[in-house]
Amino acid sequence: MTAVKISKNSAAATMTQLTQHPEQNVIRLQLRKNAALQALEAEDFAEFEQLLEITDGQKGDFLLMQGVRKMEQYFILDGTLKRVVANGKGKEMILRFAAEGDMETSYAAWRLGKPTPYSIVCVTKARVARLPLPQWAGFIERRPKLAKAFEFAVMRGMSEIMAHTITLHLLDAPGRVHRFTRKHPELRDKVPQKELASYLNLSAETLSRLIHKRKGAAKAAAEETSPD
């Protein structure tokens, strides 16, 4: 698939080296809590931080454009991103969402020597720590424990995308909403309803109705079990 025509911002805001960022101490704490970095030994953080640049993106900013070969690794500090694929006519499909404490990557495409098969876009205002994938790959290759954890996270993400794609074909609309709420409770209030509707292949009106119905059923159930 060739690079997609972009109508919104094709690049995020100016990048700042972590070591020169005015909020570097807060960012260091956020990085240490990032799930993808839990296998990174404390003594290796100083070297890792030297590689990072910090980007503040606005809603609609593209961190990575589909069809390019220059790729980066992203650690999400604040906000929500989406991985989205589009055809030549501009029709899009959202593959996954990722919020603070998570990561985004095109590591599999980079390892295979292929152009990026999708874009990575800011769903909301977002801040990420980023570094070129060749640098990241070199860093983790010298740390087998971190490399193993990272590659497992990549495979888990790919598995989740496959399961979601199957879900779109096998489950009805209420089933899709229920599965998302059950599997991703941390994203439920972070993803705008319009974006979630697109992800679940529903109209915004249908999603709103189903969410309202679920809330009503939950409230009724709570009232039934509450003491008089």
For 147-177, how does the pLDDT look when each residue is reduced to its tens digit (9 = 90+)?
A: 999 999 999 999 999 999 999 999 999 999 9
* pLDDT of the residue at 209: 93
Tell me the average pLDDT of the chain: 90
User: Rounded distance, CA 11 to CA 35, Å?
Assistant: 26
* pLDDT of the residue at 3: 36
Cα-Cα-Cα-Cα torsion 32, 38, 42, 46, nearest 10 degrees, comes to -60
What pLDDT, in 10s, does the model give residues 68-91? 999 999 999 999 999 999 988 888
Pairing of strands 119-122, 62-64: antiparallel
* pLDDT of the residue at 141: 97
Residue 13 has pLDDT above 90, yes or no: no
CATH fold label, 1-150: Jelly Rolls (2.60.120)
User: Rounded distance, CA 143 to CA 139, Å?
Assistant: 7
